Amino acid sequence: MSSTKDSPNTEDSGAYAEDSALTQLLGNGPKVSIIAAFLADPDPEFDYNVTEIADLAGVSRNTVYRHLDDLVDIGVIQKTRESGGSPRYKLNEDNAAAKRMAQLEWDLIDVLYEEE
């Protein structure tokens, strides 16, 4: 078994969620970071496996596993397919809450850039 830690990934600190407008407002809790990672994707048809989500969100794979089912259950994230035995996920653009969070992210970006 691998020695995945529950702390955020610090080796490659290129996690999008760390600097997103959403995490600046709501903090970098795991669910916020995971959602922010999905909101960063410019191609809504692209889907991610758990490792990719963890890297983008700046959290461990174990953390993604702990929170992903909740996000799928409420419909914000959807499972798209299996690839190489690994499930892949994307933001559910048909979900009203996901749409509102995406709009909030854009609104926050506008506000943050106005302040500069």
**pTM across the whole model:** 0.76
pLDDT band at 2 (very low <50, low <70, confident <90, very high): very low
CATH of domain 16-115: 1.10.10.10
**What are 58-95's pLDDT values in tens digits?**
999 999 999 999 999 999 999 999 999 999 999 999 99
Which of 13-27, 54-68, 77-91, 101-115 bottoms out in mean pLDDT, i.e. has the lowest?
13-27
- 76-102 burial string, b = 16+ CB within 10 Å, else e? bbbeeeeeeeeebbbbbeebeebeebb
- Angstrom distance (rounded) from CA 116 to CA 114: 6
Domain residue ranges in the chain: 16-115
